[in-house]
Structure 1
């Protein structure tokens, strides 16, 4: 009797922690847009993406070195797949898409990530789709579209082949979340992040220093440079630890639902920055929150 009660309390605590961490993660990733916006006048999208991934990878160098004897060589292919599909390639695909696609469309398309997590999980990883999950995913996606449309000045146009780059990134995220959830879920979240990001961080460094990045570094560019480093260390590195931990205590679909909350955070930050919020904003955010709740419904 006591064992059952203890198990119930532990399960409830994990659910509360998962929700709190999901909100924190959404805040971190949702603020990334503002940080990148302030750095774009100085650095190119490719340089921002490369520096972000490189900084995220290098910050974990002490863990990579101190735990080198614990590295599970048998899982190398999964670390590489996760880092390549979940971080390296999307960083550059989003950078390229951002040169031809407006941010509203990118945000809407990125909200398809949980759908891909569910679809990829069902097709390739034998995951079972529950009814409430399906309903929650659909509601979250609809809410994201409402929120994006309410903030869009130019409207959404899907007649742009560059939009497919965002869809491809969302598909990659779907594979990454399932790979991490199935093959890497037992690894300490910090070490998992370190081993995943360090390798792609080196590759990102090669890309970064093949551009004119060094020639742009001077006293005037110090502030945007620090912003990108912060973006990499905190909004990518630490955020990835949080994301990996959520994967371990919740589910891949629940963890990926953070992409529904990101537009909510971006909208609220826009309000604090002086942008108006309409009733349509609140309606969209309400649909999203209900959708995320249903995704985690037992």
Structure 2
């Protein structure tokens, strides 16, 4: 695409929506791969393999652009890597073994709310009325989707749910850090410089576990799926997410968490699950909410 394409506001909005939808598909499909991998590897191993694979993907670009590295941005890369990838991966890993995925998905949908609050309190971002309305609708729609998809309902009494809230708060800080301090950097290099440090930390943790002894003929396929998950659903997705941040806004980019339950619901339908009126109602509310969040 040429520069005129990106300078057109209408084209930017369309591209933002298309990329946001692609992100939702990528991240929404991650749960199936993780679920299948839990039979072969621990939650910690899954988290570290995913981050490590995502970091390795960017090595060619990092090496070739080593002279372009902005040293003054080092602390921002480190904070972004820790708050946007490393720490949340472990929080989700610990919480995932104690609470159901429906509750995790609902609580994770609070991310755009934290983006807005953190942006206003710490980054001098202006809160618009329709953004608040969009955030509220998006969360309500996500809650309707999850409630209508869960046979057992939701229970918020489990203290491990606080780990998901903490992870969502970290995402809120990360999105604002990238939006304010790292927005002018090439999305590929930005993703690579952000992920490489936490990928090294992940490798150290991974190989301190019994990971190597678990690799055999039976676990090879799950391992390959995890590597692909890290390379595509984390590595490539990081590029797309950082680019969406640059052409839209932090709140809009983070609203992808509202679309993930939509993807999960549709994938369930393809897999033979029924969809009720509440599912369609919840998805409609989510889309209206995301529209309001992106309204100029």
Q: TM-score, normalised by structure 2?
A: 0.97
Report what 1:230 is aligned to: 228
Q: Which moved more, 1:162-171 or 1:148-157?
A: 148-157
Deviations 1:14-46 (A, max 9, x none): 111111000001000000011111111111111
Report what 1:27 is aligned to: 25
Report what 2:278 is aligned to: 280
Report what 1:99 is aligned to: 97
Q: 1:233 Cα deviation (Å)?
A: 0.2
2:51/2:195 contact within 8 Å kept = yes
Report what 2:52 is aligned to: 54
Gaps of 5+ in 1: 1-5
Structure 1 residues 192 and 8: CA distance shift in structure 2, 3 A: closer
2:152 aligns with one of 151, 154, 157: 154
Report what 1:3 is aligned to: none
3-state SS in 2 of match to 1:220: coil
Equivalents in 2 of 1:50, 1:136: separation in Å? 34
> In the TM superposition, what are the counterparts of 1:1-298 in structure 2 within 5 Å?
10-298=8-296
Q: 1:9 Cα deviation (Å)?
A: 6.7
Structure 1 residues 211 and 7: CA distance shift in structure 2, 3 A: closer
Equivalents in 1 of 2:206, 2:276: separation in Å? 41
Equivalents in 2 of 1:180, 1:64: separation in Å? 18
Deviations 1:174-207 (A, max 9, x none): 0000000000000000000000001101101111
**How much is the aligned-residue C-alpha RMSD, in angstroms?**
1.1
Q: 1:8 Cα deviation (Å)?
A: 10
Equivalents in 2 of 1:9, 1:244: separation in Å? 18
Equivalents in 1 of 2:290, 2:74: separation in Å? 33
Equivalents in 2 of 1:28, 1:7: separation in Å? 25
Aligned length: 293
Equivalents in 1 of 2:6, 2:89: separation in Å? 40
Q: 1:124 Cα deviation (Å)?
A: 0.3
Equivalents in 1 of 2:87, 2:6: separation in Å? 40
Equivalents in 1 of 2:11, 2:281: separation in Å? 29
3-state SS in 1 of match to 2:279: helix
Deviations 1:91-133 (A, max 9, x none): 0100000111111100000000000000000000000001111
Equivalents in 1 of 2:295, 2:67: separation in Å? 40
Equivalents in 1 of 2:162, 2:55: separation in Å? 27
Runs (4 or more) in structure 1 with deviation over 4 Å come to 6-9
